[in-house]
Structure 1
């Protein structure tokens, strides 16, 4: 069996009980075969980007996984589906959104998956929580580029950020 690869997963929800959706998603990530949930960022509230609907709650999870990238993507989509995710149109409001942001240092561009995530550097709701967990993976110019996006740390109940 291959050694685990570090990967960072972006999570977001703007429909229903957003906090519960993210907590459930963290547990589902931890339960994936050959995967360990290492850490999770703070929660952030952000306005939708290129979309309408209520504000999102976002976070990033760091995992160590033995799943190959496309298998991980399929597993994330199954978690979204279990959370009631529908895709009626691009950037529709959602009960849960899970994106592979980074998978080790892998660069990949296929019809179904691009790594690193192609819009990673354009979105404060990804960069701020990612910078909490892996500041070396976030370039200062990326943060400068999203400075005008509305985002704030969200601490509804102070739940633990580290899962180890």
Structure 2
């Protein structure tokens, strides 16, 4: 299967802003949900592709505010702007995406974020740390979130004061 990242809408059948029941139904169109200790909505496909859904608090309680997609081992493809975010080496993904969007390295890990799009690509370490380990060579997950998802408390207050919805 092919999934297209569509910030700030969602990915595949999942949309930011869905209710818990809507998100559960959307994931179930892809396969059987993975039971978790705390009842999170998680799906693992045979290809290794995984989905995890995060929900807001406060004014966005019970609504999808983030969708994380994990790298498949085979078959499934996840794209943004026609770039295979898991199938190409991480630095090539960044190079290609920079033709279209502002994406910068994270300060606290070896991932990259397009903050205006609320799109984050993650890997546990850089390929420079271990060139033979594909976990550092390829992105391992991508997070798509609602605008304001990573706001500081001051930014969230300003967003609310301006009449916008908070992201978390």
In the superposition, the TM-score normalised over structure 1's length comes to 0.33
Q: Whose radius of gyration is greater, 1 or 2? A: 2
Q: Which has the higher contact order (CA 8 A, sep 6+)?
A: 1
Judging by fraction of residues, say which structure has more helix: 1
Give the TM-score of the pair, scaled to structure 2: 0.32
